[in-house]
Structure 1
Amino acid sequence: MSGRSDIAECVRHSLERYFRDLDGEPPSGLYDMVLRQMERPMLEVVMREAEGNQTRAADMLGMNRNTLRRKLTDHGML
């Protein structure tokens, strides 16, 4: 299984567990919650792999360095 498939399977498994844990209660704001929950660990790992170099990290993520800085600030990582 490729890395992308592994990540997708982890997300799928986590969402299935989340819905089970809701026990019939309706979810709210699921999309934003999922993105927020996965964004911080992704930023942490990429910044570590880029040895703190924001330009390199932004390139790895396929985003503008200013966008990366905003996301790092939003997550309290700067």
Structure 2
Amino acid sequence: MNSTNITPAPSEHTALTLKQNVEQALTAYFAELDGQHTTELYDLFMQQVEAPLFTCVMQHTQDNQSKAATLLGLNRGTLRKKLKQYDLL
């Protein structure tokens, strides 16, 4: 085998933006509904997004609620309420 003919795969990785990921997920969700009626999409979406957001931020800040609240732009009371809501506290 002649190794000079082997071309490495491109190393560029084009990650989707958060907005693109959300649009892609919602498009897939609506496709799966296949015309079925749904309600309370906002609440469903927020639950699906907030829980991993708070989990990742708490991991990033090593469970420091003051740092997490600052990072998120929330006051600590609101953060604690949300952490309890998602059983993260």
Q: Which one has a bigger Cα radius of gyration?
A: 2
Secondary structure of the corresponding residue to residue 52 of structure 1: coil
- Structure with the larger helix share: 1
Q: Percent identity?
A: 39
Secondary structure of the corresponding residue to residue 30 of structure 2: helix
Secondary structure of the corresponding residue to residue 69 of structure 2: helix
Cα RMSD of the aligned pairs, angstroms, is: 1.3
Q: Which residue of 2 aligns with 1:76?
A: 87
Unaligned residue ranges in structure 2 (runs of 5+)? 1-14
Take 1:36 and 1:8, find their aligned partners in 2: how far apart are those partners?
Answer: 17
Q: How does 1:49-64 map to 2 (within 5 A)?
A: 49-64=60-75
Give the TM-score of the pair, scaled to structure 1. Answer: 0.91
Establish whether residue 22 from structure 1 lines up as the match of residue 30 from structure 2.
no
- Extract structure 1 runs of 4+ deviating beyond 4 A: none
User: How many residue pairs align between the two structures?
Assistant: 75
**1:11-53 deviation digits (Å, cap 9, x = unpaired):** 1000000000001101211011111100000001000111100
Unaligned residue ranges in structure 1 (runs of 5+)? none
Q: Which residue of 2 aligns with 1:47?
A: 58
Which of 47, 52, 65 is 1:36 aligned to?
47
Establish whether residue 8 from structure 1 lines up as the match of residue 11 from structure 2.
no
